[in-house]
Every structure is written in C-alpha cells, then in structure tokens.
C-alpha cells in the first residue's frame, strides 16, 4: 500500500536538493530526439586506428554539445531494454532478467508519459521485431503513443547487415516517420548496427583494419565508425527536414559492447599492461550528449549514470511533473556528493570507485582503506533496494497525483498493447 512508498519518497525527496540552474527550460517546448547508440562505450571517443579517428563525428559533437564524459551504464541482463528503462523511468533495472519482460504491467511515471501530459506526442522508432524485449507490451506502460518497428521500414538484403536494417538506412527512413508526428514530439530512435558480433559489408567499412587476432574487437571498431557516420548523416537529414533547429538531441550509449573476454586486446589498444577491476569499471562509461541547437555546450565531468537522464531532460525542458519519483539527479545542478551506482553494487563517487569489495582512489587508481567508501556503501545499497521494492511491489500505483492511472488500469492489460 501507500505507506510502503512513503519511506522511499522521503528518501528520494531528501536526495533532491537541486536548485534551478540557468539550464532550466533552456529547450522548453522543443521536440526531443533521443538516440540509443548500440553498444557504444566512451573509451573509443577521441581514439584512432592507424591515425584515422574512430568517431570523427562524435568527437566534433562533443565540442558543440553538453557532453557528459563520466556517465556510467547501469544495465543488467536486460541490456538495451534496461538502458531504456533507466532513461525513461529513472529507476534501476533488476539484478536479474529484464524488467521489460517481468514488470511490463506495472504503473510507472516515465518521461514519455509525463511529456504526453505536457502536450507532447511520444514515439519509439526501431527497425526490429516489435516483440523484441517485450517492447510492444512495455511501451504503452511507459506512455508511448506510437511504436514504429520493422513493419514500418523497408528492409531488404541490400539494406541489412548483422541484426537487421543498417543504421544509415534506418535513420534515412525514420525522417519521414518523424515528419508525420504531431509536434512537439518526443521520439526515441534505437540503433542496431553496432551490435555483437559487429557484422558489416566491406563497402561500409570506413576504417583501416585494427590488426589483432581478436576479430571481435577489430570489427567493433568498424561498426562504431559506421554508426558514427550514420549519426553524422542523421543530423544532416534532420537539418534538411527542418527538424533540427526546434529540437533537443539527446544521444546515449546503451551498455558495453566489448565484454571481459576481450580485455587482452583492449589492454593493448589502450596501452595498459592489463585490465584490472578498476579499469574494467572505468570501461563501463558510455557517452551522453545533450545537444541544444544554438548552445555552445561544454564538457561536464561530474560522475553520472543513465538513471540521471530523465531528471536532466525534464530540467532543460522546464517541466516539473506534478507526480514524480526518481532516483537520478539533474546533471546540470551541482551535487556535493554525487554517487553513481551500478547494477552489481559497484559505485563511483568524485573521489572513489568501489568494486568487488575493494575501495579505490580514482586519482592514484590504487586500493585504499575500505572506510573511505563506507559512507557511500550504505547509500548505494539503499538506492538499489528501494528501486527494487518499487518494481517488485508495483508501488508507483500509490504515488499521489498518479490516481488517474488507476482508472485507465481497469482496461485489460492486453488491450493496452501497442497496435
């Protein structure tokens, strides 16, 4: 019942000591174009293969956007879907399984739903089967009006590679879907080409080959380079379609693409003797960009997580929801003791990094006494436990101001499924 929620609400409220910043409402009323960048990790940004940049477009993009260089991915087994969950709800995904499958029928106060109530039309665009990750059931619960999936795209052998429609084609074909939406809209586009096992025909390989016996890593560099190119042309196409100026563009990496099986080559690529637990955690950083046309942007180095995207976005849109609950924070406001918790309980603060029971000093990269991390450890555990309690107990049903949903909920769950 409601009392279970109130303890959690006092916790999240106490964490929310976030004043307005000069970014409040900076993108008020604009369309939101969100891009989930498949398997993109931060370590490739600014890097080269045989002197050729791996991400020429994103390197540039980082200079004219708010670029959050210390954002960590917080996903679990639900991979892309967990990243979506974090971004839309500012809750944590579960420690096992995919919350998209296990709790699609829950009540949420997700960003699309909040934006819908503020006059936005909300859509997802992704050229894969609509039932993948149970998206067709989950999206209505998050507040999406429309889901463009594989049936809405022309997918031929020539336009496909690996998992399906190539990103460049996907973006091209998405333009007319975006043009068909009522404005302002909130549209999330989910890329696919940079997905394991990173397959790409010769003519799309734009980078010299990275010489290594680890084929997966070499191919990853190629598909990252390809996605970078696809993003570059997408922004051009948005400009041509007249959809750039009146939008805010939010790009995020969903989760890692290079698993621990490939750390030997990662170590040699990064010119490190080995990937220690400290390095492995630092590799969990994913790029996050908030690009507002007309803004110069800047690099924000504060520790951040995907859970922070929703409050950050609402802040730049100038929206203060009537009913809301989130674990993340607005990244434009200064936080004295920022804490980013990963799904496995590891965490990162301004000074320390904690993983597998060891506390490290980020500056020296060496273990320090456990006591240094202890004050954060309790908070980290609490965050995950509270979030789990909400998901397992479907507690947002009891959120004050959320009552209107109870009526809607009387509709059979299966009828809410995306058409």
Query: Does 167 belong to an annotated binding site?
Result: no
- Sequence-distant (6+) residues with CB within 8 A of 254 are 36, 37, 38, 39, 40, 73, 75, 79, 80, 83, 84, 286
CB atoms within 10 A of CB 284: 24
Residue 132 interface partner, choices Mn ion, ligand GP9, none, CB cut-off 5-8 Å depending on type = ligand GP9
Rounded least distance, CB 346 to ligand GP9, Å: 20
Query: What is the 3-state secondary structure of 44-78?
Result: HCCCEECCEECCHHHHHHCCCCEEECCEECCCCCC
What are the beta bridge partners of residue 49?
52
Kindly state whether residue 190 participates in binding ligand GP9, applying the rule CB under 6 A: yes
Choice among 12, 55, 75, 80 that is catalytic: 80
Where in 38-57 is the site for Mn ion (CB under 5 A)?
38
Report the residue number, 79 or 168, with the smaller CB distance to ligand GP9: 79
**Residue 376 to residue 379: CA distance in whole angstroms:** 5
Q: Please select the residue that binds ligand GP9; options are 195, 225, 326, 343, rule is CB under 6 A.
A: 195
* Closest among 410, 412, 409 to 113, alpha carbons compared: 409
Residue 30 interface partner, choices Mn ion, ligand GP9, none, CB cut-off 5-8 Å depending on type = none
**Residue 145 to residue 86: CA distance in whole angstroms:** 19
CB atoms within 10 A of CB 376: 19
For strands 352-355 and 339-341, give the pairing.
Answer: unpaired
Which positions from 56 to 85 touch Mn ion by CB under 5 A, shown as an x/- string?
-----------------------xx-----
Report the residue number, 55 or 402, with the smaller CB distance to Mn ion: 55
Kindly state whether residue 244 participates in binding ligand GP9, applying the rule CB under 6 A: no
Rounded least distance, CB 253 to Mn ion, Å: 9
Report the residue number, 66 or 100, with the smaller CB distance to ligand GP9: 100
Query: Does 214 belong to an annotated binding site?
Result: no
Query: Does 195 belong to an annotated binding site?
Result: yes
* Closest among 269, 271, 305, 277 to 365, alpha carbons compared: 277
Rounded least distance, CB 318 to Mn ion, Å: 31
Which element (helix H / strand E) includes 13? helix 2-15
Active site residue 80: yes
- Sequence-distant (6+) residues with CB within 8 A of 308 are 71, 90, 328, 329, 330, 331
Q: Name the one range near ligand GP9 by CB under 6 A: 116-124, 187-195, 232-240, 377-385.
A: 187-195
**Residue 92 to residue 391: CA distance in whole angstroms:** 9
Q: Please select the residue that binds ligand GP9; options are 30, 79, 219, 291, rule is CB under 6 A.
A: 79
Report the residue number, 60 or 259, with the smaller CB distance to Mn ion: 259
Rounded least distance, CB 190 to ligand GP9, Å: 5
- Sequence-distant (6+) residues with CB within 8 A of 257 are 38, 39, 40, 41, 194, 195, 196, 198, 220, 224
CA 4 to chain centre: 29
Which positions from 122 to 141 touch ligand GP9 by CB under 6 A, shown as an x/- string?
------x---x---------
Q: Please select the residue that binds Mn ion; options are 84, 88, 167, 254, rule is CB under 5 A.
A: 254
Which positions from 90 to 129 touch ligand GP9 by CB under 6 A, shown as an x/- string?
--------------------------------------x-
Side-chain half-sphere CA neighbours of 291 within 13 A: 23
Side-chain half-sphere CA neighbours of 241 within 13 A: 20
3-state secondary structure of 147: strand
**Residue 127 to residue 174: CA distance in whole angstroms:** 9
Q: Name the one range near Mn ion by CB under 5 A: 34-42, 101-109, 183-191, 271-279.
A: 34-42
Kindly state whether residue 80 participates in binding ligand GP9, applying the rule CB under 6 A: yes
Report the residue number, 255 or 310, with the smaller CB distance to ligand GP9: 255
Residue 190 interface partner, choices ligand GP9, Mn ion, none, CB cut-off 5-8 Å depending on type = ligand GP9
Kindly state whether residue 402 participates in binding ligand GP9, applying the rule CB under 6 A: no
Rounded least distance, CB 245 to ligand GP9, Å: 29
Rounded least distance, CB 80 to ligand GP9, Å: 3
Query: What is the 3-state secondary structure of 357-416?
Result: CEEEECCCCCEECHHHCHHHHHHHHHHHHHHHHHHHHCHHHHCCCCCHHHHHHCCCHHHH
Residue set of the binding site: 38, 80, 195, 254-255
Residue set of the binding site for substrate: 195
Residue set of the binding site for Mn(2+): 38, 80, 254-255
The residues carrying an active-site annotation are 80
Q: Which residues bind ligand GP9 (CB under 6 A)?
A: 79-80, 128, 132, 190, 192, 195
Q: Which residues bind Mn ion (CB under 5 A)?
A: 38, 79-80, 254
């Amino acid at each position: 019942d409601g009392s279970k929620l109130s303890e959690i609400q006092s916790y999240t409220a106490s964490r929310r000591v976030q004043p307005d910043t000069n970014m409040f409402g900076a993108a008020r009323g604009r369309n939101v174009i969100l891009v989930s960048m498949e398997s993109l990790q931060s370590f490739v940004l600014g890097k080269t293969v045989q002197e050729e940049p791996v991400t020429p477009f994103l390197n540039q993009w980082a200079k004219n956007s708010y670029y959050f260089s210390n954002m960590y991915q917080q996903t679990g087994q639900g991979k892309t879907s967990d990243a979506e969950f974090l971004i839309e709800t500012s809750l944590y995904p579960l420690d096992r399984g995919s919350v998209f499958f296990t709790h699609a029928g829950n009540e949420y106060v997700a960003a699309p739903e909040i934006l819908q109530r503020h006059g936005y039309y909300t859509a997802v665009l992704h050229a894969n089967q609509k039932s993948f990750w149970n998206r067709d059931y989950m999206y209505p619960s998050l507040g999406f009006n429309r889901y463009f999936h594989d049936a809405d795209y022309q997918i031929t052998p020539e336009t496909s590679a690996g998992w399906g429609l190539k990103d460049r084609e996907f973006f091209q074909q998405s333009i007319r879907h975006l043009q068909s939406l009522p404005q302002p809209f909130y549209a999330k586009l989910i890329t696919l080409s940079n997905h394991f096992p990173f397959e790409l025909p010769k003519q799309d390989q734009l980078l010299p080959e990275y010489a290594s016996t680890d084929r997966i890593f070499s191919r990853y560099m190629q598909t990252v380079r390809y996605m970078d190119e696809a993003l570059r042309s997408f922004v051009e196409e948005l400009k041509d379609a007249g959809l750039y100026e009146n939008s805010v563009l939010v790009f995020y990496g969903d989760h890692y693409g290079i698993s621990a099986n490939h750390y030997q080559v990662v170590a040699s690529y990064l010119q490190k003797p080995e990937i220690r637990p400290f390095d492995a955690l630092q590799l969990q950083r994913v790029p996050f960009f908030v690009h507002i046309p007309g803004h110069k942007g800047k690099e924000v180095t504060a520790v951040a997580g995907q859970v922070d995207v929703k409050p950050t976005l609402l802040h730049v849109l100038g929206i203060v929801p009537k009913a809301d609950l989130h674990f993340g924070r607005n990244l434009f406001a200064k936080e004295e003791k920022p804490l980013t918790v990963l799904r496995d309980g590891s965490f990162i603060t301004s000074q320390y990094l904690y993983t597998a029971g060891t506390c490290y000093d980020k500056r020296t990269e060496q273990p320090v006494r456990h006591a240094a991390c202890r004050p954060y450890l309790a908070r980290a555990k609490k965050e995950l436990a509270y979030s789990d309690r909400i998901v397992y107990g479907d507690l947002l049903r009891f959120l004050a101001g959320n009552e209107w949903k109870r009526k809607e909920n009387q509709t059979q769950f299966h009828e809410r499924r995306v058409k």
